[in-house]
Structure 1
Amino acid sequence: MHLPSLPALRALEALDRLGSATAVAQELNLTQSAVSRQLKTLEEQLGASLFLRGNRALRLTPQARVFAETVRESLHQLTQAAMALRMDPTGGALNLAILPSFGMRWLVPRLPDFTRRHPEVTVNMTTRLRPFSFALEPFDAALHFGTPDWPDTHHLRLMTETVQPLAAPALLPDGPVTLDALRRLPLLHIQTRPEAWAGWFVAQGLPPGPLPGASFDQFTAILQAALHGLGVALLPDYLSTQERAAGTLRPAHHAAPVSLGAYYLVWPADRGMPPALRDFRDWLALCADEDDLLPR
């Protein structure tokens, strides 16, 4: 079977998204009759009916709407690939999805060493807070926190994260408090780790119970909230080094820092590894914590 024509596919995707042939004609800078011809051609090429007949409005069948969504994803991938080719025709770019706080505090300060070793590689970074589909996003690899459970990927462990509850001195006038007292203080939550506080209390041997409190989408925001005395934040040690040293944040409890997960570099397993990614992975292996240099 021959592939349908690209203009016809674009017309179908636009119709599904915009809802009318008039809007499609305006977006594609075509006449309505040209749009109709494109859609009729597509039906002929596919050998299937795409529209619900019997009314004046063009309405896609349920199967055609599913097909249009696939077309949309494919067109997006083609656009991203074309953009990447224009920006880097030699293949020396690495498109990396990063976690904002870990990327800025841990990765970026180390990147000058990578650029000195590999000046031919350009590292492009985009923030993503949650796992995504490598098939649908134009990334070669991503930074991931938790466990190496991202499907269909390989991984390299970078750093085990340790956390401890921290608060501004004004919230702890008498120093660290008991677990029961801590549970009654306002607790600040990170949206990407909704069970973090519960896991920390369990690690201390105490069932957590209800843990109400404000939530934030990034550690940079929760760090500022803790500094301004809005509550107790369960912060990674690597992120709070300066604040703890300056005394602007203090431990809210005497417990030693605990680990609730680790950071990983992950990359798709269903494609070949580009040379830029191979160089980056090998360099990151040199940056990983010694305790994490285990079989991967």
Structure 2
Amino acid sequence: MRWSALPPLNTLLPFEATVRHASMTAAARELHVTHGAVSRQIQNLERALGVSLFVRGARTLRPTPQARQLAAVVRDALDQIDGAARQISRRTPAGPLTLSCEPTLLMRWLIPRLPDLTESVPDLTVHLSAGGGPVFFERDGIDLAIRRDDFALPEEASRTRLFGERIGPVCRPDLASRLTDGAGVRDAVLLHTGTRPRAWDDWRGITGLGAEPVSEQTLEHFYLTLQAATAGVGVAIAPYAVVHDDLERGQLVAPFGFVPDGTSYHLLSRRPPEREERVGRLTSWLLARTAGLESTADSAGSAV
């Protein structure tokens, strides 16, 4: 036999899923088999290799370093097989691509650009889903996700950087004349959002501007905070991408410009874009549309 060191091939799918989820139960759910079936295949693999692949606790299952190394190779091999099968298959992939995106970026940047996506990639159907935080492709039934890297992104996901985050105060044009310095920020009504409660503190830390405000108001979601800023209620800290169109229309201004906060947005996918044609086309479109965001953010408003 040419591949004499190969373990039983039917053990590799349950093994890879178990390492990825750190759970036999989750692996069994993904593969639509029983927990016992996954457990038996893991035992068969361990016997074939002569090593233990997991540290088993009362309620925990932790892959060993050797298990993680093997799982990464298995995952790469499965991706290559899947990609080759897709290339030679005559079947058209069923259904749309499901893209999960953080809600405010989805509402204020991505959705307004859907007509351009339809025109630029006419035979690609995308289903949009609002979501943030950790990404679970199988559990949530999604193919891709746009996330900011303010938390640990999944190791097994393919990652394409889209743009760096730039933040800055925004307000209605008639309020901007009061915000000439840190004192002006202090005297304004500062708008906060429950999903990014430290946004103003982050901006102060980066720029060194601003004193404690005399008036503040907190809204539950970012898009509500930005709507309040557009209505003239006060001044909000905003990421450039989500207010880009408001700035272009003159509904909002950025009197201090925008500064990088050290985070970036990434497109996460189950497999690399070059291995799935539809994912590759959507990735190319997103890269083309986000290419200028950082440079235009740097020139927006007045420099700090």
Does residue 219 of structure 1 match 2:241? no
Tell me the distance in 2 between the aligned counterparts of 1:209 and 1:130. 30
- Give the aligned length: 218
The alignment-based identity, stated in percent, is 28
2:124 to 121, 124, 142: 121
Tell me the distance in 1 between the aligned counterparts of 2:130 and 2:199. 21
Q: Report the equivalent of 2:287.
A: 285
Q: Report the equivalent of 2:111.
A: 108
Secondary structure at the counterpart of residue 164 of structure 1: strand
Q: Report the equivalent of 2:159.
A: 155
Tell me the distance in 2 between the aligned counterparts of 1:95 and 1:173. 40
Shift of residue 107, structure 1, vs aligned partner? 2.5
Q: Report the equivalent of 1:266.
A: 268
Secondary structure at the counterpart of residue 136 of structure 1: helix
Tell me the distance in 1 between the aligned counterparts of 2:290 and 2:100. 18
The residue identity in structure 2 corresponding to 1:256 is G
Per-residue deviation, residues 129-172 of structure 1 (Å, max 9, x unmatched): 333422421111111124584122222222333232123466x4
Q: Report the equivalent of 1:179.
A: 182
Q: Report the equivalent of 1:203.
A: 206
Tell me the distance in 2 between the aligned counterparts of 1:212 and 1:113. 41
TM-score of the aligned structures, taking structure 1 as reference length: 0.56
Per-residue deviation, residues 205-237 of structure 1 (Å, max 9, x unmatched): 258779983333433211221133332101233
Name the CA shift for 1:245/1:110 in 2 (closer, same or farther; >3 Å): closer
Decide whether the 8 Å contact of 1:93 with 1:121 is kept in 2. yes
Tell me the distance in 1 between the aligned counterparts of 2:220 and 2:183. 26
Q: Report the equivalent of 2:4.
A: none
Shift of residue 290, structure 1, vs aligned partner? 5.1
Q: Report the equivalent of 2:256.
A: 255
1:165 to 154, 166, 169: 169
Structure (1 or 2) with the larger CA radius of gyration: 1
Tell me the distance in 2 between the aligned counterparts of 1:100 and 1:169. 26
Tell me the distance in 1 between the aligned counterparts of 2:128 and 2:120. 19
Does residue 234 of structure 1 match 2:237? yes
The residue identity in structure 1 corresponding to 2:191 is L
Which runs of 5 or more structure 1 residues have no equivalent in the other structure? 1-45, 47-62, 67-87
Decide whether the 8 Å contact of 2:176 with 2:253 is kept in 1. no
Secondary structure at the counterpart of residue 139 of structure 2: coil
Per-residue deviation, residues 223-274 of structure 1 (Å, max 9, x unmatched): 22113333210123344355446655444xx53321223322112369x954
2:134 to 127, 131, 135: 131
Tell me the distance in 2 between the aligned counterparts of 1:112 and 1:242. 15
Tell me the distance in 1 between the aligned counterparts of 2:243 and 2:120. 29
Does residue 142 of structure 1 match 2:145? yes
Q: Report the equivalent of 2:75.
A: none
Decide whether the 8 Å contact of 1:157 with 1:292 is kept in 2. no
Which runs of 5 or more structure 2 residues have no equivalent in the other structure? 1-38, 40-57, 61-90, 296-304
Map of 1:74-113 to 2, 5 A cutoff? 90-113=93-116
Tell me the distance in 2 between the aligned counterparts of 1:135 and 1:159. 26
Tell me the distance in 2 between the aligned counterparts of 1:221 and 1:164. 17
> Which stretch of structure 1 is more off in the superposition, 122-131 or 233-242?
233-242
Tell me the distance in 2 between the aligned counterparts of 1:202 and 1:230. 24
Decide whether the 8 Å contact of 2:163 with 2:265 is kept in 1. yes
Name the CA shift for 1:126/1:291 in 2 (closer, same or farther; >3 Å): closer
Decide whether the 8 Å contact of 1:158 with 1:287 is kept in 2. no
The residue identity in structure 1 corresponding to 2:164 is T
